[in-house]
């Protein structure tokens, strides 16, 4: 099968391309960066999208490209997540060979920790979440440009190759500067990268009736338990993680808020503490009905990720 992956220079897009190659598909990426097996293009440049679709003639498109705020305010104000979605649909509308598009969204279209009542129950978080919700609305209102369409909402994605924004936690554990907060177990639906790419690949080949017009949360079948997950990395790094009592953590977060207002570095703030203490679990039975349970357990993912992190230091 011929498959085009936008955002192929990113963490997920690159890993997805490698997985699809291994599955025997003919794959090309679409990116603003010149790379092997990649066409140059930009969701904000409609002509580049038309050219890529005409040159490669894909049957399936994964739209993994996105404007994020992991490095601060988004450069283009999240236009890739809204205008870019419309541009890609317009291009696909002129490309009859494309039969299915998988649109990457985010759990942040609804507040983590609470369950949406329907696929269109939006309560987005921040500018990024609002832009992803708007992107979903555009796909739904245009019926995916008249093609088979699937929306996937990712959770926290981890594993070898993940961005420095997320590996900062591993650096803190490595230096003995990470602390558990309180003793209450906290479970979260995370996605190990190889499990995620396998789920995505299944959505490209699944029968139409199993996926068309549906929204899937993609996450590992077994949620992580945050304390055990972090302890796994600590063991790999030869460290032990101490526990901060919750009242002390709240006081430190308040001090961090004050430091942030003064432009000073603050490793712990109230929003960050809230994020750490928010438990979020998503129903993975819909994607498991298509793909089956994920196959790489948390402990093995930790082992592989810790080895990768240590090798690159």
Q: What is the pLDDT of residue 115?
A: 87
pLDDT surpassing 70 at residue 44 = yes
pLDDT surpassing 60 at residue 73 = no
Q: What is the pLDDT of residue 164?
A: 84
To the nearest whole percent, how much of the chain has pLDDT over 70? 97
Residues comprising the chain, all counted: 313
Structure tokens at 307: 């080895």
Cβ atoms 137, 99 nearer than 8 A: no
Average pLDDT of the chain, as a whole number: 94
DSSP string, 172-223: HHHTT--EEESS---EE-EEEHHHHHHHHHHHHHS-HHHHTTEEEEE--SS-
**pTM beyond 0.75, yes or no:** yes
pLDDT surpassing 90 at residue 307 = yes
Q: What is the pLDDT of residue 74?
A: 55
How many angstroms separate the most distant Cα atoms in the chain? 60
Sign for the CA dihedral angle at 299, 108, 29, 60 comes to positive
Tell me what the mean pLDDT of segment 240-256 comes to.
94
pLDDT band at 77 (very low <50, low <70, confident <90, very high): confident
pLDDT tens-digit profile of 181-217? 998 999 999 999 999 999 999 999 999 999 999 999 9
pLDDT tens-digit profile of 147-189? 999 999 999 999 999 988 788 899 999 999 899 999 899 999 9
Tell me what the mean pLDDT of segment 68-84 comes to.
75
CA atoms within 13 A on the CB side of 53: 27
To the nearest whole percent, how much of the chain has pLDDT over 90? 85
């Amino acid at each position: 099968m011929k498959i085009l992956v936008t955002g192929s220079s990113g963490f997920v897009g690159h890993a997805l391309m490698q997985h699809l190659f291994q599955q025997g598909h003919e794959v090309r990426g679409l990116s603003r960066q010149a790379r092997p097996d990649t066409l140059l293009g930009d969701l904000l440049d409609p002509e580049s999208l038309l050219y890529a679709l005409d040159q490669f003639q894909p049957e399936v498109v994964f739209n993994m490209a996105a404007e994020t705020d992991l490095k601060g305010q988004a450069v283009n104000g999240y236009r890739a997540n809204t205008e870019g979605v419309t541009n890609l649909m317009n291009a696909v509308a002129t490309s009859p060979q494309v039969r299915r598009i998988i649109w990457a969204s985010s759990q942040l279209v609804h507040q983590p920790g609470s369950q949406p009542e329907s696929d269109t129950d939006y309560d987005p978080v921040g500018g990024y979440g609002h832009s992803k919700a708007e992107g979903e609305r555009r796909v739904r209102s245009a019926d995916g440009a008249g093609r088979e369409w699937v929306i996937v909402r990712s959770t926290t994605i981890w594993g070898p190759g993940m961005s420095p924004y997320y590996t900062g936690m591993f650096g803190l554990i490595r230096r003995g500067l990470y602390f558990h907060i309180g003793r209450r177990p906290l479970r979260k639906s995370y996605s190990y990268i190889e499990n995620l790419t396998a789920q995505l690949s299944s959505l490209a080949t699944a029968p139409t009736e199993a996926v068309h017009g549906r929204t899937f949360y993609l996450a590992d079948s077994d949620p992580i338990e945050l304390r055990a997950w972090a302890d796994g990395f600590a063991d790999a790094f030869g460290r032990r993680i101490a526990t901060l009592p919750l009242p002390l953590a709240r006081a430190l977060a308040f001090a961090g808020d004050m430091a942030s207002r003064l432009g000073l570095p603050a490793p712990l703030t109230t929003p960050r503490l809230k994020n750490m203490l928010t438990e979020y679990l998503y129903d993975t039975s819909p994607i498991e009905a298509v793909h089956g349970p994920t196959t790489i357990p948390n402990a093995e993912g930790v082992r592989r990720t810790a080895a990768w992190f240590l090798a690159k230091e």
